């Protein structure tokens, strides 16, 4: 939005400075520009000082005026977050997104009718005509139009959003939506939890397949170390071998049977373990 001679990014975090302080709050501006944005006392620092730098989230209030806050929302315009509906009205639902101002998801932006206290993946959007920030749970068009800055093998941060028939839907770096399949989960994960993960595949439909395990050679190297540490903790030997069930391997090592077999094969060639019908055993070097 153009205000006077400078551009404030509405719905984003702006690096601003306090230009003056009043009884009701502080006035912020970008660098040495003239125009200011008001930040009420309850939305800013306890003891504001002229010249103080502030990372300010800027939005349009109900009166159509710009307001700044030093609170950080769980997502800014163009991002996704897992949010909880805290109030539901006929015209829409209000979601908690980490700041004092709740995020409105209008009725026509709800994929299905939102109920109070439900958690949903919400995309933060901005209305071009009014510059008002709103949310949407209709994600299809945003997913299909994804402009990826990630590629296969990249390490990413995910938030587990909800359980589906095939696995778990996840939010990736706040920018993309993906899936971890049940058959590839070898550790306990929780809805709402944050995890480091890896990009397995970017699909043509705009979704991303995610793995909680490293891919390729790194996966093998990491798995070898996990097995060696496991054997040390078990006193040097374990009943696990290439005939063990996938469930037993998963329960003990948080890895797939395929990965386990490949890793113990490499360890055997490296002469670090012995493999027998009774299990695997560390070799003394």
**pLDDT by residue (tens digit) across 206-233?**
999 999 876 555 666 678 888 898 898 8
Question: 3-class DSSP state for residue 142?
Answer: helix
- Asked if 30 contacts 53 with a C-beta cutoff of 8 angstroms, the reply is no
Q: What is the H or E stretch that residue 168 is in?
A: strand 167-172
Rounded Cα–Cα distance for residues 84 and 93 (Å): 10
- What pLDDT, on a 0 to 100 scale, did the predictor assign at position 217? 55
- What pLDDT, on a 0 to 100 scale, did the predictor assign at position 214? 66
Q: Can you state the angle between helices 246-253 and 216-233, rounded to 10 degrees?
A: 80
Tell me the pTM. Answer: 0.78
Structural domains in the chain plus CATH codes: 2-69 (2.40.50.140), 80-138 (2.40.50.140), 147-211 (2.40.50.140), 216-282 (1.10.10.10)
- What pLDDT, on a 0 to 100 scale, did the predictor assign at position 284? 75
- What pLDDT, on a 0 to 100 scale, did the predictor assign at position 215? 58
In the structure, what pLDDT confidence band is assigned to residue 158 with cuts at 50, 70 and 90?
A: very high
């Amino acid at each position: 939005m153009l205000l006077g001679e400078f551009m404030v990014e509405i719905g984003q975090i702006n690096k601003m400075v306090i230009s003056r302080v009043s009884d009701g709050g502080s006035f912020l501006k970008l660098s040495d520009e003239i125009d200011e944005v008001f930040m009420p006392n309850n939305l800013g620092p306890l003891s504001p000082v002229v010249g103080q730098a502030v990372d300010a989230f800027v939005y349009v209030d109900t009166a159509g005026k710009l307001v700044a806050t030093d609170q950080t929302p769980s997502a800014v315009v163009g991002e996704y977050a897992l949010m909880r509906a805290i109030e539901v009205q006929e015209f829409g639902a209000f979601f908690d997104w980490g700041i004092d101002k709740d995020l409105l998801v209008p009725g026509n932006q709800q994929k299905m009718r939102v109920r109070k206290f439900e958690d949903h993946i919400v995309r933060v959007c901005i209305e071009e005509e009014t510059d008002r920030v709103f949310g949407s749970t209709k994600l299809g068009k945003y997913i299909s139009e994804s402009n990826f800055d990630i590629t296969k093998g990249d390490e990413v941060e995910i938030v587990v959003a909800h359980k589906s028939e095939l696995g778990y839907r996840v939010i990736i770096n706040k920018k993309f939506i993906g899936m971890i399949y049940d058959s590839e989960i070898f550790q306990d994960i929780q809805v709402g939890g944050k995890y480091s993960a890896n990009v397995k595949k970017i699909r043509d439909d705009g979704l991303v397949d995610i793995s909680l395990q490293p891919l390729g050679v790194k996966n093998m190297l990491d798995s070898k170390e996990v097995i060696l540490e496991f054997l040390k903790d078990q006193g040097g030997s374990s009943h696990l071998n290439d005939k063990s069930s996938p469930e037993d391997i998963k329960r003990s090592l948080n890895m797939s049977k395929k990965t386990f077999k490949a890793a113990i094969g490499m360890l055997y060639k490296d002469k670090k373990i012995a493999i027998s019908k009774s299990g695997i055993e560390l070799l003394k070097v």
